Amino acid sequence: MKPFRNTARFLITAILLTAPLVGLAEDKMDKMNSSALMEPVKSVFDHYLKIEAALAKDSIAGLTEQASAIAKAVRSDEIKMLSPDVAKQAGVLAQAKDLPSAREAFKPLSDSLIKYLADNKAGKGTYHEAYCPMAKASWLQTGTTIKNPYLGKSMPDCGELKN
């Protein structure tokens, strides 16, 4: 019975000594996930949300400036947190001359930013992914009330939150 007690004591000691390390690893992961939303990424998402809100109101006012700001932020990021594709997609969106082309250009940009959040396990509780079956497209928004940027005022609440 004595060898069992020694083994049990050893296991208990090992668990007690390593438990704080598990907590440190979790803290480090949380910090890494929150760093995924540091500048310039946070700026990109702020500009994105302004575009999303305008499209939901059937407007392209300010779209060129917001999309250009996204492209500039991605290109000037020395760490390269976001893919260069985001800058290209924002550039295409900045060139949109009408609402239908803006909405079409918004789709790949949305997909890239959704992928970024998923890959970095970031934005939980801040950004919500929504999906519209009519447009067959997703987007990000901060609130839980659907505000569809693809159908705008014609069907503002068409869609569902995915997360």
- CB within 8 A of 46, min separation 6: which ones? none
Closest alpha carbon to 108 in 63, 150, 154: 150
**Strand-strand pairing, 128-132 and 160-161:** antiparallel
> Please, is 162 exposed, middle or buried when counting C-beta atoms within 10 Å of its C-beta (0-12, 13-18, 19+)?
exposed
pLDDT of res. 24:
39
Domain count along the chain? 1
Long-range contacts at 2-8 (CB < 8 A, ≥ 24 apart): none
Q: Kindly report the pTM of this predicted structure.
A: 0.79
Domain contains 52 = yes
Domain contains 125 = yes
Domain contains 145 = yes
Domain contains 57 = yes
Domain contains 16 = no
Domain contains 25 = no
Domain, as residue range, for 122: 41-161
Query: How confident is the model over 31-46, as a mean pLDDT?
Result: 79
Domain contains 32 = no
Long-range contacts at 65-69 (CB < 8 A, ≥ 24 apart): 67/91, 67/93, 67/94, 67/96, 67/109, 68/94, 69/43
pLDDT digits (tens, 9 = 90+) for 41-81: 999 999 999 999 999 999 999 999 999 999 999 999 999 99
Asked if residue 85 has pLDDT above 70, the reply is yes
Domain contains 80 = yes
- Write down the mean pLDDT value for the chain: 86
Can you tell me the distance from the alpha carbon of 88 to that of 6, in angstroms, rounded to the nearest whole number?
63
**How many CB atoms are located within 10 Å of the residue 105 CB?**
21
